[in-house]
Structure 1
């Protein structure tokens, strides 16, 4: 299946000290977060930006995948990155943020820290109640991509959302919310003041639900949902790099390495 332009995964082998796994969102692709990955790679870190199953091609491919497939891909990438790097961090946009939090909840100390941008935690209530039946009657609904305030950049993704995949996304979000207390790693949450895709309250749920004691919240005043392609992109990149290198240096000092 041919990939949409810019949807190729990214792999950069840099430092064997620090690795970062960056996760894209639902119906999106690596294209929306590769500038983030390149920023980190340009500063010497090892970076992986995988393409999640069913994404980056056409919505029919997404319709036959589910959250278990998306999570399994990231889980494998995390294991591979851990074999290469001494300290590994996870990061994600939107649904990618939810998946990053689940990786942290499941892998404990193997994950050194978490960075999420406009993390998805909830599914619209009324459509969510209808999904178990509606997904058998209607194949797709209209999707939302390119929620970007800045003129020029566009997100590459699906304009149609398969309801079968949406139902699986809802299951993932419900599951991840329940696992938030298992997240103990240092956490950086960056969220837009105005977001037409994910409610601002979703970031509040993350902040209230985790057990992390080292938590930083940053409000992005000049971006919409896809902040990694928007006016505040440089702030997202710089803040996440500073967060990751601070934690890596602290861990190295504690380990005496």
Structure 2
């Protein structure tokens, strides 16, 4: 059964399924499985999905357990549940298509690699901002810290990139919020806190990914942003280097960040066009 959140998830952040908009003969139906990343949601890929759907593709994106709301909901969620949800979503796409492509964002690429290796039949993979190592080495310590520190408060970080990430995530959830309003700032510790247990599961998922990349022999297109602080392009370069297949390409976009597929990112037009060409010409 697909994940059913016990907390309120805004409609735009829920899982979505876009049936093929153009009839296709059996044997030629193409399905696309999209998997979002850590602290993300289906919201981030919906415009890209609608673009692909307009070209006759079936597209499905699940909501990963613990996601779709503020990060405190990650408490109790973890790698096994995320992998199980990716497997469930794979079967949804398989039941509606003859050829499957995957699109992963950040940690979602690891889930996509997992289903590709476990079930086979994946025709190609588009990787957006893939990650193979933690952006901050201190994150490796959460496996120990989680036993005596339940929460991480990123808004207290002295790193400007982390403070910016908090602002982006909050405004992404609710663009109407006045982030600098003192009344809202008073609520920020609760809204932005991340359970260390969830962070540990994220780190464990990244470690799991490093066991998958050397075995992932399928056509791959990798897209990375030069200014991505969450998944610096060195991640994409390392993954590209260990992929065993010959049909692989890596593109790093200058002055681009982590959300390569979203309309507010100027690089998105080139990314969308490349992904569509990869799928439809593959």
Please state how far the C-alpha of 1:60 moved relative to its aligned partner: 3.2
8 A contact 1:177–1:209 mirrored in 2:
no
Please state how far the C-alpha of 1:124 moved relative to its aligned partner: 4.2
Equivalent residue for 1:77, pick from 68, 78, 89: 89
The answer to whether structure 1 residue 155 and structure 2 residue 137 are counterparts is no
Please state how far the C-alpha of 1:58 moved relative to its aligned partner: 3.2
Please state how far the C-alpha of 1:155 moved relative to its aligned partner: 3.3
- What TM-score does the superposition give when structure 1 sets the normalisation length? 0.86
- 2:18 is aligned to 12
Map 1:1-257 onto structure 2 (within 5 A): 1-4=7-10, 6-14=12-20, 15=24, 17-108=29-120, 110-124=121-135, 126-141=137-152, 142=154, 155-156=172-173, 159-229=192-262, 230-247=265-282
- What TM-score does the superposition give when structure 2 sets the normalisation length? 0.79
Q: Which runs of 5+ in 2 are unaligned?
A: 1-6, 156-161, 175-190
Please state how far the C-alpha of 1:5 moved relative to its aligned partner: 5.7
What RMSD, in angstroms, separates the aligned Cα atoms of the two structures?
Answer: 2.2
| Aligned equivalents of 1:233, 1:18: Cα separation in 2 | 22
| Aligned equivalents of 2:33, 2:252: Cα separation in 1 | 23
Q: Which runs of 5+ in 1 are unaligned?
A: 248-257
Please state how far the C-alpha of 1:3 moved relative to its aligned partner: 0.9
Please state how far the C-alpha of 1:232 moved relative to its aligned partner: 1.0
| Aligned equivalents of 2:116, 2:240: Cα separation in 1 | 14
Q: Deviations over 1:32-54 (max 9, x none)?
A: 11111111111110000111111
Please state how far the C-alpha of 1:31 moved relative to its aligned partner: 0.9
Q: Deviations over 1:120-144 (max 9, x none)?
A: 1112463233212211222222175
Q: State the number of aligned residues.
A: 241
